[in-house]
Amino acid sequence: MNCPTARALFPDLLDARTPAGAHADARAHLASCPECQREFSALSQTLAALDALPTPAPTPRLRTNFYAMLEEEKHSAASVRSPAPPLPGTRTAARFAWLLSPLAACALVALGFLAGARTAPTASPAGEDATARKFAQLEKQLGDMKKLMAISIIQQQQASPTNERLQEVLVAARTENASEKVLNDLLAALAFDPSANVRLRALEALYPHADHQAVRAGILATLPREQNPLVQLEMIDFVASAHDRAAAPALEKIAQNAAFDRSVRDAARRALAQL
């Protein structure tokens, strides 16, 4: 084997995925050629340097944005599963829907007319009772529908303030030289808002103010009460990146408490190591 052929195989020899016994002739050439040994060593050094290149962690912004996006997707209409593709037969039927639909409507009208014409002359007290029962049934169904509509409207009314609260948090987040009141509002949103999305946004908005002792203390006070693992993770990231040593006891408790999600306990342990 000559030098160029052997050298073409060097990356393969340096690849952990290559079987140990592969390219025996190239290995034999390498053992006897000083020039190729130098080239092999250079490639090996390059790969070692590449492997030693540290990978810094992304900023907490990536996690915050991801979970906000996930929440948004879960709540948006787009998260409703897209319907399954239609079967070939139904697709053909759909192509003639413009013709079939009016025909079906006409057929129904005709059937109704015939049924009416046959039953009308034989109307009796028993028939009237049946009609009255049907009428009562329809009235009950109408009542149920009204109730459902009312519930739906109430739910919508409860949902809309979440967006408003989110807007408020976003406006607060954009405020430069945030006053104590703005910070307090954000901490209050973090502590009490029922929507995890709003709480995450509030936490994100508090990041630039991590140097405020009051902000760190507020987050630390909220952390044990927080129920959502995603928000818990973000809070732990916050206190870790703020290097808040006062957080150590709270993090210890989380790390040892099996009631917390495993990823949260792991994050607490990592944060303790950082502190």
Which residues of this protein are in contact with other proteins, per CB under 8 A? 8, 11-12, 14-15, 17, 42-43, 46-47, 49-59, 61-63, 65-67, 69-70, 73-74, 79, 81-82, 230, 263
The nearest distance, CB 9 to other proteins, in angstroms, is 9
- Residue number with CB closer to other proteins (137 or 274): 274
Q: For residues 191-216, b (16+ Cβ closer than 10 Å) or e, as one string? A: bebebbbbbbbbbbbbbebeeeeebb
Task: Tell me whether residue 185 or residue 234 sits nearer to other proteins (CB atom).
Answer: 234
Least CB distance to other proteins at residue 233 (A): 8
Q: How far is the CB of 25 from other proteins (least distance, A)?
A: 17
Closest CB to other proteins among residues 15, 144: 15
Coil, strand or helix at 143 = helix
| CB of 59 or CB of 119, closer to other proteins | 59
Least distance from C-beta 272 to other proteins, angstroms? 18
Q: Taking the complex as a whole, how short is the minimal distance between the CB of residue 193 and other proteins, in angstroms?
A: 20
Q: Is there a contact between 249 and 269 (Cβ–Cβ < 8 Å)?
A: no
SS3 content of the chain, % helix, strand, coil (to 5): 80, 0, 20
Integer Cα distance of 238 and 186 in angstroms = 14
CA distances from 92 to 13, 85, 88, 102, 107 (A): 58, 13, 7, 17, 21
Nearest residue (CB) to other proteins, 66 versus 96: 66
